[in-house]
Chains A and B, each alone.
Chain A
Amino acid sequence: QSMLAQPPSASGTPGQRVTISCSGSSSNIGSNPVNWYQQLPGTAPKLLIYSFNQRPSGVPDRFSGSKSGTSASLAISGLQSEDEAVYYCAAWDDSLNAVVFGGGTKLTVL
């Protein structure tokens, strides 16, 4: 099962703005909403962004999503130490009839 492509790591200093990319194809990101998940160490994943740029209640507006063609991005502004986590993108794939996840991006707050 093909995965969406994410950089394995990203980093930033407190207060900085960081973006994480997610690259797919016409059968997934190109035609379906992208969701982003945050997984803190030792915990279950948490839905962070859905339908490209919507935040569930309780998610700070420091987190935002966007999409262009077959790629999507997660932006985190005003970076905080508690944002240190692994971030995954995901989307439904029309060709596979399956959800595909990105490989995950480990965000380090320096």
Chain B
Amino acid sequence: EVQLVESGGGVVQPGGSLRLSCAASGFTFDDYPMHWVRQVPGKGLEWVSQITWDGDSTYYADSVKGRFTISRDNSKNSLYLQMRSLRTEDTALYYCAKEGSDPYAMDVWGQGTTVTVSS
């Protein structure tokens, strides 16, 4: 079964850091680009970042550029999101998503991990 499982969410103070992980299974992880997408409860989806299959190229939303770093370890079938200088507006449910055979079409999603930035 194709599956993505996020972890690492929690409560952190403004200015703090957190590292999210996403464990992939059921597919050849290093064949596909991966994404992080977030959602404030009750609000819409906001794309956060994308990494190519080999990790050579990364892309970020303007709202997180310079503060978040996406990375992957293909030997561990894992995706990461290092978040620094966190702000209250980063509070959201963070999903990792697998890109399908069509560019930028996210065909598998995890259940998400919650990040709360609060003093």
Chain A residues in contact with chain B, CB under 8 A? 1, 3, 32-33, 35, 37, 39, 44-47, 50-51, 54, 56, 86, 88, 90-92, 96-104
Beyond the given A35-B104, A45-B45, A56-B100, please list 8 additional residue pairs across the A-B interface where CB-CB is below 8 A. Answer: A1-B63, A32-B104, A39-B45, A45-B37, A86-B44, A90-B47, A92-B103, A97-B59
- Residue with the highest number of chain B CB atoms closer than 10 Å, among A51, A88, A103: A51
Q: Is the interface of A mostly helix, strand, loop or mixed?
A: strand
Q: Is the CB of B105 within 8 A of A47?
A: yes
Smallest beta-carbon distance B104→chain A, Å: 5
Count of interface residues, chain B, beta-carbon cutoff 8 Å: 24
Q: Given the complex of chains A and B, what is the CA–CA distance between A46 and B111 in angstroms?
A: 11
The answer to whether A92 and B107 touch across the interface, beta carbons within 8 angstroms, is no
Binding site for A on B (CB under 8 A): 35, 37, 44-47, 50, 59-63, 95, 100, 102-107, 109-112
B45 touches A88 (CB 8 A): yes
Residue of A nearest to B105 (CB): A50
Q: Is the CB of B110 within 8 A of A35?
A: no
Q: Contacts A98-B47, A99-B35, A104-B45 given; indicate if A33 touches B109 (C-beta within 8 A).
A: no
Contact present for A101 and B46 (CB under 8 Å)? yes
8 tightest CB-CB pairs across the interface, nearest first?
A50-B105, A99-B47, A44-B109, A104-B44, A92-B104, A35-B105, A47-B107, A101-B45
| Chain B residue with the shortest CB-CB distance to A101 | B45
Judging by beta carbons under 8 Å apart, are A98 and B61 in contact? yes
Cross-chain contact B62 with A98 (CB below 8 angstroms): yes
